[in-house]
């Protein structure tokens, strides 16, 4: 028995060692040499690079809340623990100041660091891979010449031992991030531009496409699968489907999408959470032509498989009951007490100030994560010069778990809304998630002790 145990142990160690050695070679296979010489002092190239960096939304992930631009440190919660974005300022010691263009290009497009190790798939290099080297060269000129260097050491991940090893990521890249190029779906130049921005630098699929068992996007383009851009849960928010079903973009017009990308709001809805940061740091700076191209392309996407194109008609009985003071449920009473002053009895809010709750597909989504998170944690609209001031939603974390479930269910199933019921367990799970989430810039104080049970709570 001991002899066989020694053999098994030896074979196991040899296998791990062989896998480790092979993993050191895989990044070199992924890396490329462009032959491009970048003039980082060319003003036109730098200006173009700034615009491309905006379309790629680099700032949102590489700037922590309250931190210096591009200096990293933003925590990204994963089921295994938090990882932190890196410093991409041109500081030589702690940033990317010592990167050559090819090293920068390989990190952006192929997920390979300067030292040859693999980047975590939180970096959307599977999407950036279709970007032309010339566009990445412009970004390189911008980061090296126009971004202020910041001396800030990168923060190690909070992944548990063994799972924080980087070398196995080379196999993840081999399996889930094969080399690919951009393949237009149409000859229409507007739709092709929109497809490229959505699929490539905009990396919309990183949030709006579901993940597989290896945390890989289940599809990187519409041609691969109808699951592309069909919605996902990210950072506790429901990133809605961007396809043509009713709970996706089926009820949106192209003009509403352009308005939303530019200002972060329409007459009925507003961006909160991660999408607010996308608009604040990225899409509000994009040209009208590019915004129209993205919107036009998204409107070509068919409904996701098995999703409702329309919902059954439902008569609105809620508005008159609230106006008449007929509160026939605990949820109705809570809505009047905490929500109606802004969102109104008819649930339509105030255009471009307080979002509508009635007829808002973000509210009656199949998954209640976004409604629960903004109810309990609060949030704010993106700050843009294209509209009025950025309004905030206060946090109602002080409410009992049962009360949050009651009012959320009332909102998701009143007026013409129809959605699955939220349970107290859903509320408890979101409260636990929020207890681990950074609070900077929200109405919910850090390390707030919140109840996990509400038995005997005072409802006065």
- How far apart, in whole angstroms, are the C-alpha atoms of residue 443 and residue 397? 10
For residue 292, say whether it is annotated as part of any ligand binding site: no
> Is the separation of the CB atoms in 130 and 200 below 8 Å?
yes
For residue 447, say whether it is annotated as part of any ligand binding site: no
For residue 339, say whether it is annotated as part of any ligand binding site: yes
Asked whether residue 159 is assigned to any structural domain, the reply reads: no
Number of neighbouring beta carbons within 10 Å of residue 231? 24
Give the pLDDT score at 459.
Answer: 28
177 and 194 assigned to the same domain: no
pLDDT digits (tens, 9 = 90+) for 271-319: 998 899 999 999 999 999 999 999 999 999 999 998 988 888 899 999 9
Instruction: Collect the ranges in the chain with pLDDT lower than 50.
Output: 440-460
Rounded to 10 degrees, the C-alpha dihedral 243/210/261/412 comes to: 80
323 and 292 assigned to the same domain: no
- How far apart, in whole angstroms, are the C-alpha atoms of residue 248 and residue 379? 22
> Is the separation of the CB atoms in 92 and 143 below 8 Å?
no
Q: Give me the number of domains the chain comprises.
A: 3
* Long-range contact set of residues 445-454: C-beta below 8 Å, sequence gap at least 24: 448/397, 450/397, 451/400, 451/401, 452/401, 452/428, 453/401, 454/400, 454/401, 454/402, 454/403, 454/424
CA 196-199-200 angle, 5° bins? 70
What mean pLDDT value characterizes the chain? Answer: 89
Residue 81, phi then psi, degrees to nearest 5 = 140, 175
For residue 281, say whether it is annotated as part of any ligand binding site: no
Does residue 265 sit in helix, strand or coil?
strand
Residue 234, phi then psi, degrees to nearest 5 = -140, 125
- How far apart, in whole angstroms, are the C-alpha atoms of residue 339 and residue 300? 36
DSSP-derived secondary structure letter, 213: T
271 and 338 assigned to the same domain: no
For residue 62, say whether it is annotated as part of any ligand binding site: yes
Give the pLDDT score at 24.
Answer: 65
For residue 61, say whether it is annotated as part of any ligand binding site: yes
266 and 333 assigned to the same domain: no
Give the pLDDT score at 445.
Answer: 41
> Is the separation of the CB atoms in 223 and 130 below 8 Å?
no
Give the pLDDT score at 33.
Answer: 85
CATH number reported for the structural domain that contains residue 112 in this entry: 1.10.760.10
Give the pLDDT score at 43.
Answer: 97
Range of the domain at 195: 189-298
CATH number reported for the structural domain that contains residue 209 in this entry: 1.10.760
For residue 207, say whether it is annotated as part of any ligand binding site: yes
41 and 128 assigned to the same domain: yes
212 and 323 assigned to the same domain: no
Q: Which token pair is 443?
A: 């109405």
> Is the separation of the CB atoms in 395 and 272 below 8 Å?
no
For residue 110, say whether it is annotated as part of any ligand binding site: no
For residue 222, say whether it is annotated as part of any ligand binding site: no
**Neighbouring residues of 110: CB distance < 8 A, sequence distance ≥ 6:** 27, 30, 31, 32, 125, 129, 173, 179
């Amino acid at each position: 028995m001991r002899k066989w145990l020694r053999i098994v142990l030896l074979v196991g160690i040899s296998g791990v060692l062989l896998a480790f050695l092979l993993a050191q070679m895989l990044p070199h296979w992924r890396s490329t040499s462009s032959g491009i010489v970048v003039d980082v002092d060319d003003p036109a190239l730098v200006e173009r690079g700034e615009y491309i960096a905006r379309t790629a939304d680099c700032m949102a992930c590489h700037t922590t809340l309250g931190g210096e631009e591009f200096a990293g440190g933003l925590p990204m919660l994963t089921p295994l623990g938090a990882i932190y974005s890196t410093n991409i300022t041109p500081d030589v010691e702690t940033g990317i100041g010592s990167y050559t263009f090819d090293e920068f290009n390989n990190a952006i497009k192929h997920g390979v660091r300067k030292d040859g190790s693999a980047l975590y798939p939180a970096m959307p290099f599977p999407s950036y891979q279709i970007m032309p080297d010339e566009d990445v060269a412009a970004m390189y000129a911008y980061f090296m010449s126009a971004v202020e260097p910041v001396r800030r050491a990168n923060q190690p991940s909070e992944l548990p031992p063994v799972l924080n090893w980087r070398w196995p990521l080379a196999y993840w890249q081999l399996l889930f991030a094969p080399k690919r190029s951009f393949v237009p779906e149409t000859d229409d130049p507007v739709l092709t531009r929109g497809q490229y921005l959505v699929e490539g630098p905009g990396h919309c699929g990183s949030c709006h496409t579901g993940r597989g068992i290896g945390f890989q996007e289940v599809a990187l383009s519409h041609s691969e699968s109808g699951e592309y851009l069909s919605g996902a849960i990210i950072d506790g928010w429901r990133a809605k489907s961007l396809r043509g079903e009713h709970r996706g973009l089926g009820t949106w017009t192209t003009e509403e999408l352009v308005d939303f990308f530019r200002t972060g709001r329409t007459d009925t809805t507003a961006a909160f959470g991660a999408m607010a940061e996308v608009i604040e740091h990225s899409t509000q700076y994009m040209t009208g032509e590019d915004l129209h191209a993205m919107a036009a392309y998204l409107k070509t996407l068919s409904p996701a498989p098995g999703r409702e194109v329309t919902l059954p008609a439902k008569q609105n009985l809620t508005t008159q009951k609230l106006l008449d003071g007929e509160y026939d449920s605990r949820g109705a009473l809570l809505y009047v007490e905490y929500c109606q002053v802004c969102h109104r009895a008819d649930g339509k809010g105030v255009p471009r100030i307080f979002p509508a709750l009635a007829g808002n597909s973000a509210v009656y989504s199949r998954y209640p994560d976004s409604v629960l998170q903004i109810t309990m944690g609060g949030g704010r609209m993106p700050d843009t010069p294209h509209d009025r001031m950025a309004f905030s939603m206060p946090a109602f974390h002080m409410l009992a778990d049962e009360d949050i479930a009651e009012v959320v269910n009332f909102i998701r199933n009143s007026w013409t809304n129809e959605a699955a019921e939220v349970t107290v367990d859903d509320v408890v799970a979101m409260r636990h998630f929020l207890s681990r989430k950074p609070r900077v810039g929200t109405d919910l104080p850090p390390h707030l002790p919140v109840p996990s049970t509400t038995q005997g709570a005072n409802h006065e």
